[in-house]
Structures are given as structure tokens and as C-alpha cells.
């Protein structure tokens, strides 16, 4: 049984499926998830898509159903409280929440309820299958994983990715290093497992959007003739490529433009290591009306704008620490370059933090660490 057949069998046996994406998910992960959710829902599966702190940026707001991606885990289990009413009939009950405590009041028709009449019982997780898309490691799910690690160690996982640093943590691992996007892998899976009849205009739009985004407008060095053939097949459906390009590459909010201006004003460069970086004080977010959630897109814009740069680093000031984003070209592994700061993410982009609120100190420590790694 090949991997696609294993995936089909596992999905057929599942009823409630949760699709998990990394924090700061790229459009490719989002479109792959929306495609898969649509397919699974058409096969009578209950599906939810989760990405920690997800907030759709202007580049993907045009996509149908993008608001269905949730920013945190839903309730995973229920606790059943049962009361034996065989000899003591129930008249009514009520509850009150006070000081972080739930108080349940049970009034009998007659007689008395005793503690031994009350029992509690946990039921199984309400999801029976996890599918991860573009997730290098469970830790890169951030709070989604930290809130419920037992869930991820208990429920079967189908792990789908194309990055070489994927830790293959799933019971089924569809990690295809020769592919250029998660959306490409989902397209192949769709055709092989469910057939071309499942494709429609909406799914084709999702998949083309993900592929165009991940390959920087079909200009990536990793672009293959096979992928171009797939795109040509997808656009035979009603796919508005002009609208996709407009939204992906020309839809910047005013707050993002203001923040981008502040980032550019502080831009620094080390030509020897082809490293470009900038610092973002906390005040910049207030003055630009933006938030740190804008930074992943800004860093993508910077590495596209500065073609000579192999590494782009942003450091910003939080309330309790300094956080950083490092984006690299395919020549470098961001996880290795910044390993001493316990990063999480992918080989081409990671997030990390430093236990200080001093931007200058964090800058010196981070830049020195990267330069030392590059010099090894």
C-alpha cells in the first residue's frame, strides 16, 4: 500500500478531522488547507482548520471561506458529570461561575443527593484524525501544540510537507522534497485519491493561489516543468490569475505600508554575509496602527526586494522579551543558523525570542551568533 492509499484509508475511517497549520502560515498552507477541507466536507467529514493566532492578511482576504480558519484550538474533550437519580428524582438544577470555579446546584424532588451519587467521566477526543500541512515539527504549531500536547501524541497524524527539515512526526508522512508547494502535493493527492471529478473552479483557484504565492509568481528557482504543467491544467477552470496576482503581490494595507517604512528607515546590511536586518521598537506598532502579525509579510517583501540578500532578519520589542524572524534563501537553513535561540518554524523562516527587552543588546547577540555560524 503506497502513501496515498494509506492516506485514503485513514481518512475514510475518520469522522472528525482537524487540519493544523504552523503559526504565521503562508498563503500556500492556507489554500492547501481550504482545498482539503472542501474535499473532506464533500465526503461527509466534519473538518476544522487551525493556525495559531491566525488573522487573514489583505493578500488572502479575497479567498472564499478563509474566515473558516480558526486562530486557536476548539474544545477537544467533554467532561460528563452524571448523577444517580434512581432513588432520588431530580427536580431542577442550576449553575454559577465564581472565582474561576463552576458550581452546580442540584435540587431533588424529594430525599437527598450524596457525593457517592455523583460521578465524572471523560470522553474521547472529539477529533479522530489530525492532518498537518507545512508543519516542520509539532513545536512549530506554537500555542496550538503547547495547549494540548497529549492530543497530538494520542490522535493519529497525517503529516504533509515539502521542506527538508520536516521531522516526520506523523504516523503517515507525505513529505515530498521534489515538490515546490504544499498546494502542489494536495493537487496530486486530490487527483490520485479522489479523481479529477472532484476539481472545480473554487478548488482550482485555491491551488493556483498557493502555487503562485509559494513560487513568487512562478519565478522561483525551484520551479519545475511538471509544476508548470499542473498550473496550466488548473487554469483551464475559471481561475482569475490577474486577481490572484493583484491580491498576493499588490495588496498592502496602509498600516503595513507605514510599518514597512519604519522598517526600511532602520535597515542595516552586512555585505560579506549577505545579511540585511532591521529593528522594530514597540512604539512603531502603535504609531503605524499595525501589529507584529504584519511582519512575516514584510520580511517576504524585503527578501524579494533585496535580491542580493541571502538572509533577512527582523527583531521587534515585545512587552517581556525581544522576538525575531529570520528568513533565508535556499542556500541556508534558518533553524541551524539560529539554533542557540530555540527557534521554531521552517528551514527558510523561523521565529525565536530572547530574554531581554533591550533591542540593541538583542541585535548584537543575534547578529554575532549568525555571523559566527556562517563563518564556521
- Which of the four pLDDT bands, split at 50, 70 and 90, describes residue 376? low
Using one digit for the tens of pLDDT, what is the confidence trace for 134-156?
Answer: 998 898 898 999 999 999 999 99
Higher pLDDT, residue 275 or 349? 275
Q: Which residue did the predictor score with more confidence, 123 or 343? A: 343
Element (H, E) at 353: strand 349-354
Mean pLDDT of 320-341: 86
Alpha carbon separation from 244 to 4, 248, 249, 353 (Å, rounded): 29, 6, 8, 34
Which of residues 232 and 250 earns the better pLDDT score? 232
The fold of 254-375 is Diaminopimelate Epimerase; Chain A, domain 1 (3.10.310)
pLDDT tens per residue, range 78-93: 778 888 888 888 888 8
> Binning pLDDT at 50, 70 and 90, where does residue 169 land?
very high
Q: How far, CA to CA in Å, does 312 sit from each of 270, 279, 356? A: 11, 11, 21
Dist CA 48 CA 29 (whole Å): 14
CB under 8 Å to 238, separation ≥6 — which residues?
Answer: 201, 204, 205
- Position of cell 467529514? 45
Q: What CATH architecture is 3-74+126-248?
A: Alpha-Beta Complex (3.90)
Strand ranges for 78-123 from DSSP E:
79-83, 90-98, 101-108, 118-122
The residue ranges of every structural domain in the chain are 3-74+126-248, 79-122, 254-375
Least confident residue range of 47-56, 116-125, 174-183: 116-125
Q: Identify the bridge partners of residue 136 per DSSP, sorted by sequence position.
A: none
Cell readout for 21 is 497549520
Alpha carbon distance 186, 206 (integer Å) = 11
Contact yes or no for 258/289 (Cβ under 8 A):
yes
Q: At what angle do helices 241-250 and 201-214 cross, to 10 degrees?
A: 40
What pLDDT sits at residue 2?
95
Q: What are the pLDDT digits (tens) for 23-52? A: 888 899 999 999 999 999 999 999 999 999
CA pair distance 357, 362, nearest whole angstrom: 8
Give 201-237 pLDDT, tens digit per residue. Answer: 999 999 999 999 998 888 777 788 899 999 999 999 9
pLDDT of residue 334: 85
Query: What is the per-residue pLDDT for 267?
Result: 93
Per-residue pLDDT, averaged over 164-169, amounts to 89
**Lowest-pLDDT choice from 123-132, 259-268, 367-376:** 367-376
Query: What number is the average pLDDT over the span 188-207?
Result: 96
Average pLDDT score over residue span 97-114: 84
Q: Map grid coordinates 524572524 to a residue.
A: 325
**Residues in contact with 235: Cβ distance below 8 Å, sequence separation at least 6, in sequence order:** 204, 208, 241
Query: What would the mean pLDDT of 189-203 be, rounded to a whole number?
Result: 95
298 vs 376, more confident: 298
One fold for 3-74+126-248 and 254-375 = no
pLDDT (0 to 100) of residue 293: 80
Rounded to whole angstroms, the Cα distance separating 275 from 151 reads 39
Amino acid at each position: 500500500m503506497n502513501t496515498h492509499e494509506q492516506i485514503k484509508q485513514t481518512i475514510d475511517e475518520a469522522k472528525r478531522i482537524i487540519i493544523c497549520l504552523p503559526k504565521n502560515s503562508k498563503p500556500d498552507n492556507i489554500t492547501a488547507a481550504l482545498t482539503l477541507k472542501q474535499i473532506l466536507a464533500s465526503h461527509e467529514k466534519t473538518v476544522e482548520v487551525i493556525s495559531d493566532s491566525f488573522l487573514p492578511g489583505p493578500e488572502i482576504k479575497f479567498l472564499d471561506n478563509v474566515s473558516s480558519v480558526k486562530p486557536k484550538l476548539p474544545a477537544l474533550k467533554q467532561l460528563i458529570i452524571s448523577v444517580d437519580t434512581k432513588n432520588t428524582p431530580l427536580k431542577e438544577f442550576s449553575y454559577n461561575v465564581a472565582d474561576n470555579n463552576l458550581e452546580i446546584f442540584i435540587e431533588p424532588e424529594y430525599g437527598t443527593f450524596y457525593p457517592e451519587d455523583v460521578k465524572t467521566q471523560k470522553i474521547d477526543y472529539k477529533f479522530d484524525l489530525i492532518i498537518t500541512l507545512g508543519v516542520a515539527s509539532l513545536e512549530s504549531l506554537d500555542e496550538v501544540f503547547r495547549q494540548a500536547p497529549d492530543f497530538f501524541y494520542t490522535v493519529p497524524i497525517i503529516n504533509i510537507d515539502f521542506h527538508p527539515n520536516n521531522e516526520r512526526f506523523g504516523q503517515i508522512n507525505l513529505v515530498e522534497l521534489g515538490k515546490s508547494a504544499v498546494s502542489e502535493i494536495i493537487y496530486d493527492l486530490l487527483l490520485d485519491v479522489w479523481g479529477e471529478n472532484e476539481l472545480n473552479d473554487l478548488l482550482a483557484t485555491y491551488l493556483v493561489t498557493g502555487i503562485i504565492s509559494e513560487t513568487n509568481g512562478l519565478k522561483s528557482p525551484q520551479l519545475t516543468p511538471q509544476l508548470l504543467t499542473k498550473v496550466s491544467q488548473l487554469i483551464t477552470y475559471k481561475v482569475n490569475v490577474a486577481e490572484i496576482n493583484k491580491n498576493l503581490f499588490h495588496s498592502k494595507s496602509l498600516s503595513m505600508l507605514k510599518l514597512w517604512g519604519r522598517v526600511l528607515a532602520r535597515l542595516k546590511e552586512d555585505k560579506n554575509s549577505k545579511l540585511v536586518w532591521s529593528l522594530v521598537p514597540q512604539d512603531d506598532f502603535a504609531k503605524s496602527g499595525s501589529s507584529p502579525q504584519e511582519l512575516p509579510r514584510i520580511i517576504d517583501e524585503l527578501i524579494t526586494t533585496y535580491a542580493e540578500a541571502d538572509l533577512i532578519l527582523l527583531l521587534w520589542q515585545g512587552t517581556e522579551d525581544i522576538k525575531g524572524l529570520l528568513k533565508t534563501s535556499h542556500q541556508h537553513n534558518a533553524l541551524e543558523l539560529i539554533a542557540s535561540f530555540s527557534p521554531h518554524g521552517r528551514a527558510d523562516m523561523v521565529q525565536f525570542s530572547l530574554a531581554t527587552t533591550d533591542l540593541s543588546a538583542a541585535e548584537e547577540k543575534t547578529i554575532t551568533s549568525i555571523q559566527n555560524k556562517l563563518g564556521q
